[in-house]
Amino acid sequence: MARAGAAVSDTPIADVRARAGVEAEHQRANRTMFERIAPTYDLLNRLLSGGTDARWRARAVDALPPIGAGAVLDLCAGTMDLSALVARAYPESRIVALDFSAAMLEAGRGKVPRAAVLVGDAASLPFEDATFDAVICGFGMRNLADPSQGAREVGRVLRPNGVFVTLELFRPSHLAARAFHQAYAKVVLPSLGGLVSGDRAAYRYLARSMGSFFTRGEYEDVLRAAGFRNVTGSDLTLGVASIVRAERAGNVEKDGDVEKDGAA
């Protein structure tokens, strides 16, 4: 566990459990890293996954509830691929894309001209309580300095019975997926990512973060501890990626009381 005040390099901390006490430093290094790789981020996603990441995102959008004209937050939106899919699936929806990297958002802004685009912190969202009908996050929770705080913030800004969908590269728990992750992380990510982006350190971090994050089951426990219910998960492509769907409780506890929201 990193101690408070410890020096942090320009590379973010890969192990999620080592970020305690140096959250601000991790976030700064992480934001700087994504600013650097923003120009080649979309291209590398397609190359590194062989286009599979697009299918994963489509599956994540399929996990959203019927939104209609409701409000959706694309959390850690990056270059707004998920925002674009939500806009296509729900043309009447109100979409807000939030990320801590202005460069990433700028790279994707043209994909969804009607979306509201905000630079912000997932650990301290700039929204009132119960603002959104759904929140979707693709490959972002792994990079937060404190994913538990991020989950609590999602619960705060969701309306009662709202849905949170996470698409993520969790630490694999199955042998076949672990073997693939290790080979991919040690060879493909830093080599191809470094070659195309010119930033080998960034892709070494991304590779290490995959093996140093929560398993899907551990992340599901984080969501339950944050007050979510009906937490379910499914693996994609032999467990390389996973989708976790969770619902915000219909009743909200405030100051020791239970505030009724009218939900059955």
In a domain, 4, yes or no: no
Let me know if residue 19 belongs to a domain.
no
pLDDT of residue 205: 84
What pLDDT shows up at residue 1? Answer: 36
Residue 76 lies in a domain: yes
pLDDT at 255: 39
Residue 138 maps to a domain: yes
Residue 47's pLDDT is 81
- Crossing angle, helix 147-157 and helix 216-225, to 10 degrees? 50
What is the tens place of the pLDDT at every residue in 172-225?
A: 877 666 666 676 666 666 667 666 677 777 778 888 888 899 999 999 999 999
Question: How high is the pLDDT of residue 251?
Answer: 60
Cβ-proximal residues to 51 (8 Å cutoff; 6+ apart), any chain: none
pLDDT at 244 over 80: yes
Q: Return the pLDDT at 193.
A: 65
Domain assignment present for residue 34? The answer is no
For residue 68, the enclosing domain spans: 55-170+214-249
Inter-residue contact 76 to 135 (CB < 8 Å): no
pLDDT of 141 over the 50 cut: yes
Q: Residue 142 domain-assigned? A: yes
Question: Tens of pLDDT along 43-86?
Answer: 887 887 778 899 999 999 999 999 999 999 999 999 999 999 99
Q: In degrees, to the nearest 5, what angle opens at C-alpha 67 toward C-alphas 240 and 262? A: 115
Evaluate the CA torsion angle 216, 219, 221, 224 in order and state its sign: negative
Q: What is the crossing angle of helices 41-49 and 23-37, to 10°?
A: 90
Q: How many domains does the chain have?
A: 1
In a domain, residue 191? The reply is: no
Q: What is the dihedral of CA 132, 134, 135, 136, to 10 degrees?
A: -150
Residue 226 is part of a domain; what is its CATH number? Answer: 3.40.50.150
The answer as to whether 21 is a domain residue is no
- Spatial neighbors of 49 by CB under 8 A, at least 6 apart, are 56
